[in-house]
Structures are given as structure tokens and as C-alpha cells.
């Protein structure tokens, strides 16, 4: 059994948003996205994958489809396959987001 500690995976990069993989199989993956102030994951679409975002620390602006919302620690949202989505850390603090994607992109 693989057991992880979330704090061990909250690693940031000054260059760009850092994706830290926690778990991955042929059917799904789970990452922690770590964003310094001003960093973002540009809007994009997964044709066949659903994505769930859960904010662990900080708060950021999340886009799903045409809607944008600011989410804070303890809140989450989902982008269904085919929906444009992204996240931006518009704050002066760090943002950590737990991310689940299924099925795993090829």
C-alpha cells in the first residue's frame, strides 16, 4: 500500500505552476498543483477526461466553462470532459490544489 503525506508534495517553482504527482494508474491520476502568486494553468479542454479541483491552501480564480469563481481552502469544483477550464493564483500568497483526472490521458 502506498501511503503519502500531502505536505511532502507541496513543492513550488518560481518559473511556473508545478504539478506534483501523488498517484497514477491507467484509469486516473491525482496531482497537487502548486502555484506561486501570479502563476496560472491556462484555460484548456480535455476531450475525454473529467477533472476535479480541491483547494488545499490559499485561494484562486477557477474557470469552468464560461464561469469564473474564487475558491478557497476546503472548496472544490469539477470540469467535465469537453469543458474549458483553468486556474490562476491572483493573490499574493501561495495556492495548493488537489487535482483528480479520470480517465488518465493517453
DSSP letter assigned to residue 96: E
Q: What is the reported pLDDT for 104?
A: 79
CA nearest to 79, candidates 70, 66, 88: 66
Domains of the chain with CATH codes: 29-102 (2.60.120.10)
Are 73 and 58 contacting, i.e. CB atoms less than 8 angstroms apart? yes
Are 61 and 91 contacting, i.e. CB atoms less than 8 angstroms apart? no
Average pLDDT rounded to a whole number, residues 15-33:
96
Mean per-residue pLDDT over the chain, rounded: 96
In angstroms, what CA-CA distances link 22 with 2, 28, 30, 45? 10, 11, 6, 22
Q: What is the reported pLDDT for 105?
A: 72
Residues 64-100 have pLDDT tens digits of 999 999 999 999 999 999 999 999 999 999 999 999 9
Residue 27: is its pLDDT beyond 80?
A: yes
Average pLDDT rounded to a whole number, residues 58-65:
98
Residue 19: is its pLDDT beyond 80?
A: yes
Distance CA 22, CA 39 (A): 21
Average pLDDT rounded to a whole number, residues 39-63:
96
The residues, ordered by sequence, that sit 6+ positions from 63 with a Cβ below 8 Å of its Cβ are: 43, 84, 85, 86, 87
Distance CA 32, CA 10 (A): 7
Amino acid at each position: 500500500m502506498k501511503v503519502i503525506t500531502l505536505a511532502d508534495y507541496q513543492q513550488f517553482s518560481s518559473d511556473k505552476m508545478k504539478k506534483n504527482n501523488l498517484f497514477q494508474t491507467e484509469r486516473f491520476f491525482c496531482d497537487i498543483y502548486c502555484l506561486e502568486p501570479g502563476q496560472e494553468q491556462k484555460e484548456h479542454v480535455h476531450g475525454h477526461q473529467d477533472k476535479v479541483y480541491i483547494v488545499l491552501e490559499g485561494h484562486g480564480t477557477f474557470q469552468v466553462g464560461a464561469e469564473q469563481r474564487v475558491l478557497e481552502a476546503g472548496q472544490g469544483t469539477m470540469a467535465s470532459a469537453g469543458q474549458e477550464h483553468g486556474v490562476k493564483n491572483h493573490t499574493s500568497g501561495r495556492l495548493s490544489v488537489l487535482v483528480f483526472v479520470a480517465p488518465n490521458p493517453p
